[in-house]
Each structure stands twice: as structure tokens, then as C-alpha cells.
Structure 1
């Protein structure tokens, strides 16, 4: 059911712009009319208005592409986008569902820098806080961001020995690469007691409008909770990462394998 103050004209414009964005310089009036289910007369007027406002541009062959006005609006949106503010707003919904700690972190060289944390009811103290650095290879939030690198790039990043934080920490680059490949395939990374004994994490990547990983989010919990919550936590951390990605302009395209 549509909302009380819904404006159908804006909904039609939204459908047209999305279709043109998906198939730039490919659709004429007749084809576009069929795709968006708007009669040709109404669509002609709509397209004429959008063209005048520079929301769309008419190309050779009477096809359409998105116009420069949308580029200006998009740039304005990204100037106001703040990943930390968005994290605290969206993470609260995920914590309410899983009731475990969530963290936000970005990759810098071979380390994760933690930017934000939202806690569940657990009184367990995490070993990382906002502002701290931690080796990416020893954390789920780091490994999911390492999926953007090739084997050769990982060799460059970790030209030094991998220090073990616990007996479970990956200390071999070949093992790390296999682990990262699996995370890339799955769309999430898991860490079992690699950063601290008794703790488990699951992390997912945040993408931007260029389909590049810009950060990661993770749930952290103790072994006593992990077996019961790992599936639901994995699903929810992926949902959270997707919500933040869409806010950053991500279109939903899958990451392309680079090896």
C-alpha cells in the first residue's frame, strides 16, 4: 500500500532514471516506454522535462543517458556522507538483533584502524577500541578488506614475518592467501581466536560507488555465544555492510576477482 502523500509523478521519474542508468545510450522512447510501463505520450513529456532540467541527456539515435545535473546531486550527497555517523545509526539496528559488539575499521597498509564501536549487553572487554591499530591478517575485519589484493600485493604488504597474537593466528603468507580467497568467495571473513583467545569474529566489506572496499564491519563474541549465534551474526553483518555500502553509493555489483 502506498503512503498517504505519495507522488506518482516522482515515482515514474525514479523508474525512468534507474532504467536509463542501467542501460545508458541504449533505449529509445518506444523501448523505454515498454520497460517502465508508461504510455508514450506521458513518457515524452516526462523525458522532455528531465532533459530541460539536465537530469537526462538525449544522445545520437534518440537514446538517453543520465545528465550532468544528477552528477552534481550525486557529488553533493557524497560530500555529506559520513561513514562513522552512518555506522552508529545502522549498527544500532544490528546490535538490537544479535546483542553482540560491532566494530567499524578501515585498512591502512597491513593494519586495521578502528573507527567505531557499538556494544551489546556483553560485559566482555574487547582488545581494540576506536583509534587503535591491529594487524589485518589477525582479524576478520582486516582479512575481509585484504580480499581486494592479489598474492603479489600481499607479499609487498607483508614483507616482514607475521607476528602471532595467539597460537591460532595465521603466520604463513600462503595460508593467509588461501584464507583471503575463501573470504572473497563467501563475501565475509571469519576469525576464530586469532586475535585473542576465546573470541570469534565475522566481518563483511563496505563498498563505495566505485565498487571499491572502503571499510569493514564485524561482530565479536566469545566462544560460549559463537556456536549459537554465528549463522545469524554472519547474515546480519552482511546486511549491515550492504546497508552502509548502499549509503556510500554502491550499486550492488559483485567484486571482481583480481587473481
Structure 2
């Protein structure tokens, strides 16, 4: 059902712009008319208006591409995008579903720098707070951001001697690379008592408009909660990461569940 104050003309323009963005310099008026289910006379007026406003450009062969006005609008959006502000807005929804702590962090060389935290009802005290640094190899939120790295790049990032936070902490490049590759295949990373005994994390990557990982988000909980909530937490952290990625301009698809 349409919303009360819905404007059909804007909906049609949105549909046309998305089609042109998906098939740049490929669709002419007749193809756009069929795909968008808009009659040719209405579409002609719509395209003429969009072309005049420089939202679209008519190319040789009468096909269409997105125009420079959209580039300017997109640039303005990304200048105002604030990942921390978006995190606090979006994470509240995820915390209300799982009721466990969520953190946001970025990768800085071999460390995670934590930027934000939103807490569930658990009284458990996390070992990391906003502003703190923590080894990426010992955290799910770090390992998910290491997934673009080759084994050689991991060797360059981490020294030979690693600090073991617990008996379960990864302690060598081979194990880290295998763990990171598994996270890459799944689309999420899991950390089982590697940062602190009795704690478990699941993390997902946040992508930007260039399809690059710019941050990670993670749920952290104790073993008793993990056994009950790990599947739901995995699904929800993927959903949160997807929402943040979309706000950052990501246009690809993130894995939403294990295959």
C-alpha cells in the first residue's frame, strides 16, 4: 500500500534513474519504457526533464547515462556521511533484538581502534572501550577487516612475536590466514575466547561506495549467552553492517547467512 503523501512522479523518476545506473549507456527510451513499465509519452517527458536538469545524459545512439548533477549530489552526501552517527542510530535497532553489546571499530595497521559502543542489558564489562586499540588478530572485528589481505600482506602487518591474550589467541600467520579466509568465505568473523576468556564475538564488515571495507561491527557476549544467541546475533550483525554499508553508498550484496 502506498503512503498517504506518495508522489508517483518521483517514484517513476527513481525507477528510471536506478535502471540507467544499472545499465549505463545501454538503454534507449523504448527499453526503459518496457523495463520501468512507463508509457513512452510519459517517459519521454520525464527523460527530457531529467536531461535538462543534468540528472541524465543522452549518449550517441539515444541511450542514457547518469548525469553530472547526480555526481554532485552524491558527493555532497558522502561529505556529510558520519559513520559514528549512523552507527548509534542503526545499532539501537540491533541491540533491541539481541540485547547484547555492539561495538564499531576501524583497522589501523595491525590494531582495531574502537570508535563506538552500544550496550545491551548485560552488566558484563567489555575489555575495550571507544578510543582504545586492540590487536586485530585477537578480535572478530579486526579479522573481518583483514579479509582483503593476502598472506604476504598479513606477514608485513604483524611481527613474529605476538601477544597472546588467552590460550585461544591465534599466534601465527598460518593460523591467522586460514581464519581470515574462512571469514572471507562466510562474510562474517567469529572469535571464541581469543580476546578474553569467557567471551565470544561475531563481526561483519562495513563497505563504502568504492566497495572497500571501512569498518567492522560486532556483538560481544559471554559463553552462556553465546550458546543461545549466536545464530541470531550472526544474522543481526550482518543486517546492521548491511544497513551501514548502504548508508555509506555500497551497492553490492553482503552475505546474510552461512551457505
For this structure pair, what is the TM-score category when the shorter chain's length is used for normalisation? over 0.9
Structure 2 segments unaligned to the other structure (5+ residues):
none
TM-score when scaled to structure 2?
0.97
- Secondary structure of 2:113's aligned partner: strand
* Deviation per residue, 1:75-107 (Å, 9 max, x gap): 111111100000000000000000000000000
Q: Following the alignment from structure 1 to structure 2, what is the Cα–Cα distance between the partners of residues 239 and 173?
A: 30
Residue matched to 2:210? 210
Q: Following the alignment from structure 1 to structure 2, what is the Cα–Cα distance between the partners of residues 159 and 121?
A: 38
Residue matched to 1:8? 8
* Deviation per residue, 1:212-237 (Å, 9 max, x gap): 00000000000010010000000000
1:32 pairs with 2:28? no
Q: Following the alignment from structure 1 to structure 2, what is the Cα–Cα distance between the partners of residues 161 and 43?
A: 65
Q: Is the contact between residue 20 and residue 66 of structure 1 (CA under 8 Å) also seen in structure 2?
A: yes
Q: CA deviation at 1:8?
A: 0.2
Q: Is the contact between residue 211 and residue 253 of structure 1 (CA under 8 Å) also seen in structure 2?
A: no
Q: Is the contact between residue 147 and residue 181 of structure 1 (CA under 8 Å) also seen in structure 2?
A: yes
1:198 pairs with 2:217? no
Residue matched to 2:145? 145
Q: Is the contact between residue 101 and residue 118 of structure 1 (CA under 8 Å) also seen in structure 2?
A: yes
- Secondary structure of 1:60's aligned partner: coil
* Deviation per residue, 1:178-220 (Å, 9 max, x gap): 1000000000000000000000000000000000000000000
Residue matched to 1:113? 113
Residue matched to 1:50? 50
Q: Following the alignment from structure 1 to structure 2, what is the Cα–Cα distance between the partners of residues 33 and 138?
A: 53
Q: Is the contact between residue 187 and residue 254 of structure 2 (CA under 8 Å) also seen in structure 1?
A: no
Q: Is the contact between residue 169 and residue 193 of structure 1 (CA under 8 Å) also seen in structure 2?
A: yes
Q: Is the contact between residue 20 and residue 27 of structure 2 (CA under 8 Å) also seen in structure 1?
A: yes
RMSD in angstroms over aligned alpha carbons? 0.9
- Secondary structure of 1:250's aligned partner: coil
Q: Following the alignment from structure 1 to structure 2, what is the Cα–Cα distance between the partners of residues 237 and 254?
A: 11
* Deviation per residue, 1:55-74 (Å, 9 max, x gap): 00001111100000000000
- Secondary structure of 2:236's aligned partner: helix
Q: Is the contact between residue 242 and residue 254 of structure 2 (CA under 8 Å) also seen in structure 1?
A: no
Q: CA deviation at 1:254?
A: 5.6
1:69 pairs with 2:72? no
TM-score when scaled to structure 1?
0.97
Q: Following the alignment from structure 2 to structure 1, what is the Cα–Cα distance between the partners of residues 50 and 157?
A: 48
Q: Is the contact between residue 29 and residue 63 of structure 2 (CA under 8 Å) also seen in structure 1?
A: yes
Q: CA deviation at 1:253?
A: 4.0
Structure 1 segments unaligned to the other structure (5+ residues):
none
Residue matched to 1:248? 248
Q: Following the alignment from structure 2 to structure 1, what is the Cα–Cα distance between the partners of residues 69 and 160?
A: 49
Note the 1:70-149 alignment, pairs <5 A: 70-149=70-149
